[in-house]
């Protein structure tokens, strides 16, 4: 059974940093691209970042480019999202998701974590 478990969320002040982790199990982690998706309170889903199976390529939405960094450790089957220079508008539930393919998420997402809340507020 595929499982994705996010951790590392919480309350952070504007301008601060936070690192999210996503522990994956039930599939060969190193074979698939992975992604982060977020959802602000009462709003729709927003694609944030994706990373190739090898970690050699990363892709970011314009809204987080230069502030967020996606990475992975295939030896630990874990996905990360380093979030710097956080803003109030980054407040959201962040979901870790598995991509259908290995190179990018062109085929869509097939499994999702339960999500973790990040609140940016003073």
Partner 1 sequence: QTVVTQEPSFSVSPGGTVTLTCGLSSGSVSTGYYPSWYQQTPGQAPRTVIYSTNTRSSGVPDRFSGSILGNKAALTITGAQADDESDYYCVLYMGSGISVFGGGTKLTVL
27 Cβ neighbours under 8 A, 6+ residues apart: 2, 98, 111
Within positions 64 to 93, which residues make up the interface with partner 1, using CB under 8 A?
none
Q: Is 26 in the site for partner 1 (CB under 8 A)?
A: no
Q: In this complex, which beta carbon is closest to partner 1, that of residue 17 or of residue 106?
A: 106
29: DSSP letter: G
Considering only 37, 79, 92, 118, the residue that binds partner 1 (CB under 8 A) is 37
Cα-based distances in Å from 20 to 23, 106, 107: 10, 23, 24
- Contact stretch for partner 1 (CB under 8 A) within 7-15, 23-31, 56-64, 80-88: 56-64
């Amino acid at each position: 059974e595929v499982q994705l478990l996010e951790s590392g969320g919480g309350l952070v002040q504007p301008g601060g940093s936070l690192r999210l982790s996503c522990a994956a199990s039930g599939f060969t982690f190193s074979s698939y691209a992975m992604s982060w998706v977020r959802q602000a309170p009462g709003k729709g889903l927003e694609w944030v970042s994706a990373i190739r199976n090898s970690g050699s390529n990363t892709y970011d939405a314009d809204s987080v480019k230069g502030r967020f960094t996606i990475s992975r450790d295939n030896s630990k089957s874990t996905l990360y999202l380093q979030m710097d220079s956080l803003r109030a508008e980054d407040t959201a539930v962040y979901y870790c998701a598995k991509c259908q393919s290995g190179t990018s998420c062109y085929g869509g997402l097939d499994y999702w974590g339960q999500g973790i809340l990040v609140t940016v507020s003073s």
